[in-house]
């Protein structure tokens, strides 16, 4: 064990003497800190704007004059999604989906069918965040620091001297991996400190933060270990550098781009225009709820008359047009919900295809895990859409019930209800999404990262045996 520690310390001394390595490491650490604080400031500004806009929208709605309730149905409501606390660390799909939705009657919010959802949201390069730096730039730095760790010893003929002194191949590889593993964790320390600080303030869950730190620690160790092992398997440092750069390009650039394209070709999604045309066709089949005399609602009218025990619409104690509006909203909501569910199911199939092949690219695994835990993945966005749609339906139906129940008492050619009723309409209250509620969403990415580390450990044993055999 002493030999392992000595070798690790020697790697640290080598780094301390490597001016370019120190500069590169310092710049990356600085970049992580700048990205973290910039993201925090951006999140705070967006959250402040969201609160201000939501308050303004609610006040404007409450200040509307006496109106026909159905006019308020089409006046609608704006909703602003609260940003998850850890979204500063990984913005995920928020940059593409947005945080604002307009809700009105007879339609489901258009975000369910937005073009931004038509491609792999998981695999785009996002804005400059600590997660982006750790995922894409940190591996390059670790490769730069470790690609010559063992190959350098071979090139300088110092490897034979070390082996002659009784240092075995396992001790040598273990010492190199320990040294560069510690460096890798030190590179991620600023980001980890930001996360821990956020949890300490109570803004984030400790369990969630812990899992994120463990996942990124595995990710950084993966690249540090891979660099040392490849360096041990080749004869020259430049060969190790070429192989590692190729591995970086394939796993971080090529596969994350190619796999979504393959998923899209295998299971294509309908475009927004195609979806709108199909919805319009389905909506035409259920009649026009704005017209109480539409033939489609004849059976509904008979059912209503039987329910109230009257023979004509005029004898009803409620406004028949309001009842038709309630029924029409139920029918249109079901049509939109079915279409949205079909779309979401196909998106899940695409993403499942990509995630299945994440064993070939651990970047996909760490990105999926990072977004999930940060509350900025497609599932979190879908949860917001589901909650907003439930609110929209209740919001519209509350106004429709006002039309059915209150207007018969008012009468007149242009009946309007008091503006005081607008304040009785419920306000949207978002229930924060819990990323740990469904353990299956984080289990597979963690298994992929653990599998890569296990495979590297096996490869390290092979490299150690090869080095030891070469000495003999």
The per-residue DSSP string of 336-399 comes to HHHHHHHHHHHHHHHHHHHHHGGGT-HHHHHHHHHHHHHT-SHHHHHHHHHHHHHHHHHHHHHH
* Residues 111, 381: Cα–Cα separation, whole Å: 10
Global confidence as pTM: 0.86
CA 431 – CA 429 distance, rounded (Å):
6
Judge whether 98 and 111 are in contact, CB under 8 Å. yes
- Residue for token pair 């993945």: 377
Check residue 279 and give its pLDDT: 80
Whether 203 contacts 39, CB under 8 Å:
no
Q: Output the pLDDT for position 215.
A: 95
* Eight-state DSSP code of residue 401: H
Break the chain into its structural domains and give their ranges: 2-471
452 contact partners, CB below 8 Å, separation of at least 6? 222, 362
Helices 2-17 and 169-200 cross at an angle (nearest 10°) of: 70
* Residue 39, token pair as written in the block: 């993201």
> How many CB atoms are closer than 10 A to CB 197?
13
Positions in the chain short of pLDDT 50: 112-126, 471-472
The residues pairing with 417 across neighbouring beta strands, listed in sequence order, are 67
Cβ-in-10-Å burial (0-12, 13-18, 19+) of 471 comes to middle
Predicted local confidence at residue 42, as pLDDT: 85
Instruction: Give the CA count within 13 Å in the CB-facing half-sphere of 92.
Output: 29
Asked if residue 90 lies in contact with residue 124, where contact means CB atoms within 8 angstroms, the answer is no
Contacts of 370 (CB under 8 A, 6+ apart): 89, 90, 92, 131, 135, 212, 215, 216
Residue found under tokens 């008091």: 418
pLDDT (0 to 100) of residue 363:
93
Strand partners, 100: 80
Give 99's contacts (C-beta < 8 A, 6+ positions apart). Answer: 46, 50, 80, 81, 83
Phi, psi of 241 (to 5 degrees): -65, -45
CA distances from 191 to 57, 125, 352 (A): 37, 19, 29
Q: Would you state the pLDDT for residue 280? A: 81
Furthest C-alpha separation in the chain: 106
Q: Give the torsion sign (CA, 411, 414, 419, 425).
A: positive
Alpha-carbon distance 409 to 415, whole Å? 9
Q: What is the SS3 assignment for 77?
A: strand
Q: How distant, in Å, are the alpha carbons of 149, 160, 324, 408 from that of 76? A: 64, 77, 19, 24
Q: Are 142 and 248 in contact, with CB atoms under 8 Å apart?
A: no
Rounded to whole angstroms, how far apart are CA atoms 184 and 192?
12
Instruction: Give the separation between CA 257 and CA 263, rounded to whole angstroms.
Output: 11
Query: d(Cα 119, Cα 60) in Å, to the nearest integer?
Result: 36
Cα separations in angstroms, 145 against 19, 176, 183, 282:
11, 11, 9, 61
Give the model's pLDDT for residue 432: 86
67/70 Cα distance (integer angstroms): 8
Phi, psi of 148 (to 5 degrees): -105, 10
User: What CA–CA distance (Å, rounded) separates 416 from 392?
Assistant: 22
Beta bridge partner(s), residue 67: 417
Whether residue 212 contacts residue 370, with contact meaning beta carbons closer than 8 Å, is answered with yes
**What is the rounded CA–CA span in Å between residue 436 and residue 83?**
17
> DSSP letter at 76?
-
- Distance set, CA 144 to CA 17, 149, 244, 290, 362 (Å): 15, 10, 9, 68, 19
């Amino acid at each position: 064990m002493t030999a392992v520690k000595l070798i690790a310390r020697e790697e640290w001394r080598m780094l301390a003497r490597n001016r370019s390595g120190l500069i590169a490491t310092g710049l990356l650490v600085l970049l992580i800190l700048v990205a973290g604080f910039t993201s925090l400031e951006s999140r705070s500004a967006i959250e402040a704007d969201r609160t201000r806009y939501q308050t303004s929208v609610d006040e404007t709605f409450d200040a509307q004059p006496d109106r026909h309730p159905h006019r308020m149905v089409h006046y609608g409501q704006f909703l602003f999604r609260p940003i998850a606390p850890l979204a500063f660390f990984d913005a995920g799909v928020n940059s593409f989906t947005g945080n604002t939705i307009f809700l009105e009657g007879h339609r489901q919010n258009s975000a369910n069918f937005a073009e931004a959802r038509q491609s792999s949201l998981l695999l785009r390069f996002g804005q400059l965040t600590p997660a982006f730096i750790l995922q894409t730039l940190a591996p390059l730095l670790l490769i730069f620091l470790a690609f010559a760790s063992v190959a350098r010893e071979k090139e300088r003929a110092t490897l034979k001297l070390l082996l002659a002194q009784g240092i075995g191949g396992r001790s040598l590889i273990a010492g190199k991996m320990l040294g560069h593993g510690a460096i890798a964790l030190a590179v991620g320390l600023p980001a980890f400190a930001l996360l821990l600080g956020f949890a300490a303030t109570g803004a984030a869950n400790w369990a969630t933060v812990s899992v994120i730190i463990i996942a990124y620690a595995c990710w950084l160790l993966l690249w540090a270990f891979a660099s040392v092992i490849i360096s041990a398997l080749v004869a020259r440092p430049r060969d190790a550098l070429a192989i590692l750069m190729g591995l970086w390009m394939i796993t971080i650039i090529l596969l994350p781009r190619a796999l979504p394209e393959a998923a899209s070709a295998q299971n294509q999604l309908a475009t927004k225009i195609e979806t709108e045309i199909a919805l319009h066709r389905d909506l035409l089949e259920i009649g026009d709820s704005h017209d109480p005399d539409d033939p489609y609602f004849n059976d509904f009218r008979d059912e209503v008359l039987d329910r109230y025990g009257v023979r004509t619409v005029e004898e009803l104690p409620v406004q028949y047009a309001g009842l038709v509006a309630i029924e029409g909203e139920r029918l249109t909501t079901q049509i939109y919900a079915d279409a949205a569910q079909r779309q979401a199911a196909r998106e899940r199939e695409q993403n499942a295809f990509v995630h299945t092949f994440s064993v070939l690219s651990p970047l996909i695994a760490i990105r999926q895990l990072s977004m999930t835990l940060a509350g900025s993945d497609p599932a979190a966005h879908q949860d917001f859409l589901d909650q907003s749609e439930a609110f929209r339906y209740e919001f519209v139906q509350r106004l429709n019930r006002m039309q059915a129940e209150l207007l018969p008492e008012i009468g007149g050619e242009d009946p309007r209800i008091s503006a005081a009723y607008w304040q009785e309409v419920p306000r949207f209250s978002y229930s924060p999404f819990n990323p740990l509620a469904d353990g299956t969403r984080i289990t597979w990415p963690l298994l992929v990262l653990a599998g890569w580390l296990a495979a590297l450990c096996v490869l390290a044993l092979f490299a150690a045996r090869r080095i030891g055999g070469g000495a003999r």
